[in-house]
Amino acid sequence: MKTNMVLQPADLSLSALKFDNCFVRELPADPDSSNQLRQVHSACYSRVTPTPVVAPQLVAFSQEVAELLNLKNETCKSKEFAQIFVGNKLLLGMDPYATCYGGHQFGNWAGQLGDGRAVNLGEIVNKQGERWALQLKGAGPTPYSRRADGRAVLRSSVREFLCSEAMHHLGVPTTRALSLLLTGEQVNRDMFYDGHPQEEPGAVVCRVAPSFTRFGSFQIFAWRNEIEPLRQLVDYTIQTDFPHLGKPSTAVYQQWFETVCRRTAEMIIHWMRVGFVHGVMNTDNMSILGLTIDYGPYGWLENYDPDWTPNTTDAQGGRYRFGHQPQIALWNLVQLANAIYPLIEQAEPLEAALQLYNDHYQQGWREMMAQKLGLKKFEPATDLLLIAELEKMLQLVETDMTIFYRKLVDLVPTDSNDGADLFAPLLDAYYQPEDLSEKNKAQINGWLRTYLNRVAQDGLSVDERQERMKAVNPKYVLRNYLVQLAIDKAEDGDYGLVNDLLQVMRQPYAEQPENEEFAQKRPEWARHRAGCSMLSCSS
């Protein structure tokens, strides 16, 4: 049987990874060290090592994340790096484990879940004093694998790797991704859940975050009435990830929950700003730090449709559709409030924090929409109606959200605002411009005249307004069909497009004239193709 070797790195850059594994040092461990499926009680984690693979091969790595970890580019291209970040070898100081958590999935309590295919290598502290947890996704079975093999396939790993970095550069709070590696092994998956499984190339992503603790990490203890480990995890989380709040106490627990509510609201506002749909907002996929976590069947809103979900499992109910994400985040926060109630035993402060989420989201969403429209600030008297009419207008015919807002930048108030062809510069945003009826055109022109008159009232120069709008309205997003094209090529051994997309998404707000092809709206062939329109949770 293959086993992991503890490696004394020859590369000085790898030696710079200084591990300080306080999660396993300070929190209760599973006393059973076997890697057998089981219910794990009164423990935050189980020690487990990655399962070695036959032929690790680097597909791509993030230069920015390497810098966070004080790693050199040359190091990330080395064979030694590939062995470590696929799980074949361990560095001195690594103390691998899988965490225990529960969660609500599609609104129903699912019991114990846990890291079923993720193995945490440990936590490093970089030269700036920042703490980063390193986690391999697809590294083999753990006690939480629930009859699964603990592996991940290349298609889902490409999606996770690229989206983690794209979201960061878009300014969205997110976990990061250091590397994407092939395992050299095949993984059996039924992509469409239709009884026709196929062999697919296996892969491992190294995910990076200050913490991977989820709402469900607390829920599992509350559900089992294991109050002492619940308190230990809350205290540890506050001391490690929220130290500015002070020493844990009932009052600090309340402040902590308020902070989680605010951070969650801010994350959702950013999702709505760039048109991101998570697709599976279960409570076990909600980060306690307000980071986007677990990139499964996500999607980007191309045609503006608030009812769209990228998840085939959710297609009928639409629980996690784009326009419902703010309400789902609140529902998930209610479940977290229920989980930590035993430590506070007062409903009022928790209810106040949930109201704070609502207030923070509403205020932040209004400010965000004003920024997208290039306004100095949100004026309720005029802008509530302006935005409500905009959302109706975007649904008259299929309208590409990203292109529409980016083209709106180029419209300027002039004396000819009463003209009949104001919408002409926006034509590229429509998937079927021939479907625009005369009534549609009149409605769009009417809104644009109102909008330009509103812009003129602010008195901003054209350059200043355009600069503001370009800073929040990306030209490039990680469109579903582009990722699928990259997956198709990668499965044939060509990783060029994976790296091209990684490079383009490093500057999503810049014009990048040499990369104009990546800013085009979804082609017709991708409308209903699997991976380009909707996806399953299979990975």
Residues noted as catalytic: 284
Q: What is Dmax (Cα atoms) for the chain?
A: 78
Burial class of residue 224 in the structure, from the number of CB atoms within 10 Å of its CB (0-12 exposed, 13-18 middle, 19+ buried)? middle
Structure tokens at 333: 């926060």
d(CA 128, CA 163): 25
Structure tokens at 204: 């491992």
d(CA 392, CA 397): 10
d(CA 35, CA 116): 11
The distance of Cα 45 from the centroid of its chain, to the nearest Å, equals 23
**Cβ-contact 175, 80 below 8 angstroms:** no
Q: 10 Å Cβ neighbour count for 367?
A: 14
d(CA 374, CA 456): 11
**Cβ-contact 191, 80 below 8 angstroms:** no
Query: Percentage helix, strand, coil, to 5, in the chain?
Result: 45, 15, 40
Residue type, 173: P
Structure tokens at 298: 């996500």
Q: Where are the alpha helices (DSSP H) in 131-247?
A: 154-169, 215-223, 227-241
Sign of CA dihedral 94, 98, 99, 104: positive
d(CA 23, CA 115): 15
Provide the 8-state DSSP code for 210.
Answer: S
- Which residues does residue 399 pair with via DSSP β-bridges, in sequence order? 430
CA distances from 312 to 62, 193, 319, 535, 538 (A): 30, 10, 11, 6, 10
d(CA 261, CA 251): 16
Sign of CA dihedral 228, 230, 233, 238: negative
Helix 325-344, helix 347-372: angle, nearest 10: 150
d(CA 486, CA 518): 12
Burial class of residue 311 in the structure, from the number of CB atoms within 10 Å of its CB (0-12 exposed, 13-18 middle, 19+ buried)? buried
d(CA 261, CA 23): 23
